[in-house]
Amino acid sequence: MLEKIDLSKKLPKNQYQEEMLRLERRLFDLEKACWDAGIPSVIVFEGWDASGKGSTINALTQHLEPRGFRLYPIRAPRTHEQHLPWLWRFWTKLPNYGQMAIFDRSWYGRVLVERVEKKIPPKLWRRAFQDISEFEHAITDDGYVILKFFLHISKKEQAKRFCKLESDPLESWHVQKEDWEHHRRYDEYLEAVEAMLERTESEWASWTVVEATDRRWTRHKVFSTIVGRLEQTLAARGKPLAPAPPAAKSRPRRNSRA
């Protein structure tokens, strides 16, 4: 699947700035509309190390009403969490009706890191595919909207980004020894990612693979996907939001690195 992805996709700066202005405003309005309609949403970000998950999430949250969402950076389960059903810590983070939860990594660590690094027996990560499917099906049956993104970059691009980060004294801390170890095992992770995408794709919780070589393309695809999905959901539930007016052309943003 991933070998067919065109990682050379880019978005011109002028087009990016004009379209993102419209998408950012629309997203804010949709967040408010979902709040009023009591529609909860869950946005999951998975992807390679250095693929831009953090910066994309940062750009996303800057244009949301802070009271309407929660951001959860997911790490390895704590000691007490290891003595509970493995999905328990994610159930407890589901948003209230009308709110949004954003996951920087998620329950998919079970079939990625925990699988590849052999932190759990094979029978557990194999069973996790069904656990995940049932979990996502259950919450969508209850009215939740799930959007799942996988940010994809090549092994060569990942090494390039690691080296760039390490050359900057203020950013070098982002790259740890384990990151290079994961990079060395890129092909093993690729096999796990392919299995994850294939076995957890569903009509109620589909995956969006994002070509993440170009930052502008990445952000635009994430924003446009979320906006499109929330618009469809509101319309399907009889609560459509009026079409957004065309965005007026604006001056390039000051201090923008995009």
- pLDDT tens-digit profile of 171-197? 999 999 999 999 999 999 999 999 999
- Model confidence pLDDT, tens digit, residues 155-170: 999 999 999 999 999 9
Instruction: Please state the separation of Cα 148 from the chain's center in Å.
Output: 6
Which of 146, 158, 218, 148 has its CA nearest to residue 190? 158
Q: How far is CA 99 from CA 31, 37, 50, in A?
A: 8, 10, 28
- Model confidence pLDDT, tens digit, residues 74-106: 999 999 999 999 999 999 999 999 999 999 999
Q: Is 36's pLDDT higher than 50? A: yes
- The dihedral over CA atoms of 220, 223, 228, 230, expressed in degrees to the nearest 10, equals 180
Which of 132, 158, 157 has its CA nearest to residue 146? 132
pTM: 0.93
Mean pLDDT of all residues in 143-152: 98
| CB-CB neighbours of 163 under 10 Å | 10
Q: Tell me, what's the pLDDT at 254?
A: 43
Q: How far is CA 48 from CA 9, 33, 99, 142, 242, in A?
A: 17, 33, 27, 31, 37
> 77 vs 250, which has greater pLDDT?
77
Q: Tell me, what's the pLDDT at 257?
A: 47
Q: How many CA atoms lie within 13 A of 16 on its CB side?
A: 19
Instruction: Please state the separation of Cα 63 from the chain's center in Å.
Output: 16
Q: How far is CA 10 from CA 13, 29, 248, in A?
A: 9, 27, 23
Q: Tell me, what's the pLDDT at 256?
A: 44
Phi-psi region of 5 (alpha: psi -120 to 50; beta: other; left: phi over 0): beta
Domains detected in the chain: 2-236 (3.40.50.300)
Q: Tell me, what's the pLDDT at 250?
A: 46
Mean pLDDT of all residues in 208-217: 98
Q: Is 249's pLDDT higher than 60? A: no
Mean pLDDT of all residues in 50-57: 97
Q: Is 48's pLDDT higher than 60? A: yes
d(CA 119, CA 76): 11
